[in-house]
Amino acid sequence: MRTCLRVLPVYRLLAGACGLALYVLFCAVAFAANTGLDGRASADAPQVPLVVHGTTDDAEVADLLAEFMRRHPEVLVQYSKASSRELFDAAVKSPGAKSAADVIWSSSMDLQIKLANDGYAAEYRSPEVDGIPGWARWKDRAYGITAEPVVIIYNKRLLREALVPKDRSDLLRLLTDHLAVFRGKIATYDPELSGTGLLFITQDVRITAQTWKLVAAMGRAEVKLYASSDPMIDRVGSGELLLAYNVLGSYALERAKRERQEWVVLFEDVTPFGSERLEMHTRTGRALHASSKTELDRPRPTFDLEVVQLDPETGAWLVDQPPLMPSERYDTHEEWQARTDQARATFGEGAT
């Protein structure tokens, strides 16, 4: 079975980052641990509390925090979830309060960098710094810890293929031409309540001049607004909503895995000059990257296919790893489609 996950063309926020990187989760860091000279806690030393406030749901972060405390038993992580706006306001209004966080972990990159630039984050040089790309560090005050796609999700049982948007322009057209179908049945982030939602819409404005037309079309369609991704995913899955725009891809991928869906479409774009599609196997992260191209000096299109490795948790392209199957070119659509089906079987379910 294939899931309903789709992603719009990527944001150009991170030059040089992987092609599916849309934004970065940044941590503003201030942390010190009570350790001995060997880096381990003294036998009689009490646990040092590490207060972490973040936007990630408790269920999504539980395994990560448990593994961290297993590796660092001298540290007791105390995690609480809040919206990105609430995290920012708390840091600014009460920076020295007893309830202040040691680590602020948020998907709202712009607010995180503002906190760092305005002096609310202490400098901290991570011992893992040699393994952190330059674009993921800001003055040793903020660190990027993941790069993720932001996606459109839709209910495949209820929305026929002809009404599935391929890009932003297509979504605008569908909301305009099929208003009755989508009225009250679409969702996105509330930019007033969610700093992450505000970040997404400001980047949309940078990418395309059609953003405000799309916002107006969503308004006419009586869009539902939410402060986080999970309720949007829940309501699309139940059929209460048909489609949600700008959802965190890692949450949607996790849902697809729980529902035992084998493949997800992370990217699909179709233009008069060609097409591109990235389809990932949810368990292994192996992905089929298929593209077609029509050039003015060639009478017929060409078709390419390669198999690449993605991070199965986030869908991020692991650009430092060579293709699992180098790019191959085909002269006909039929041969290309047959080879794509063969690669899906070879690298899909049952592959080790």
* 35 close to 71: Cβ distance less than 8 angstroms: no
> What pLDDT is stored for residue 95 in this prediction?
67
Predicted confidence (pLDDT) at residue 272 exceeds the cutoff of 80? no
Instruction: Note the pLDDT tens digit of each residue in 23-37.
Output: 344 454 433 333 333
Give buried/exposed letters for 194-227 (b at 16+ CB in 10 A, else e).
Answer: bbbbbbbbebbeeebeebeebbebbeebebbebb
SS3 call for 282 = coil
For 291, the enclosing helix (H) or strand (E) is: strand 286-293
As a whole number of angstroms, the distance between CA 252 and CA 155 comes to 12
The Cα 22–Cα 206 span in angstroms is: 13
Mode of pairing for the β-strands spanning 137-138 and 103-106: unpaired
Contact 186, 242 (CB under 8 A): yes
Q: What is the pLDDT of residue 248?
A: 84
CATH numbers and ranges of domains, the chain: 5-17+149-347 (3.40.190.10), 23-147 (3.40.190.10)
Residue 276, beta-bridge partner list: 269, 291
Structure pTM?
A: 0.68
∠ CA 26-116-144, rounded to 5°: 20
**Dist CA 190 CA 226 (whole Å):** 5
Q: What are phi and psi of 290, to 5 degrees?
A: -110, 135
Identify which has the larger pLDDT, 108 or 339: 339
> Which alpha helices (DSSP H) does the chain contain, by range?
58-71, 84-93, 109-117, 168-177, 179-182, 195-207, 211-220, 229-238, 249-258, 333-347
pLDDT digits (tens, 9 = 90+) for 138-177: 888 888 877 777 888 888 889 998 998 877 888 999 999 9
Contact of 232 with 244, CB cutoff 8 Å: yes
Contact 178, 165 (CB under 8 A): no
pLDDT tier for residue 225 given thresholds of 50, 70 and 90 = very high
Please say whether the beta carbons of 71 and 46 come within 8 A: no
**What pLDDT does 23 receive?**
38
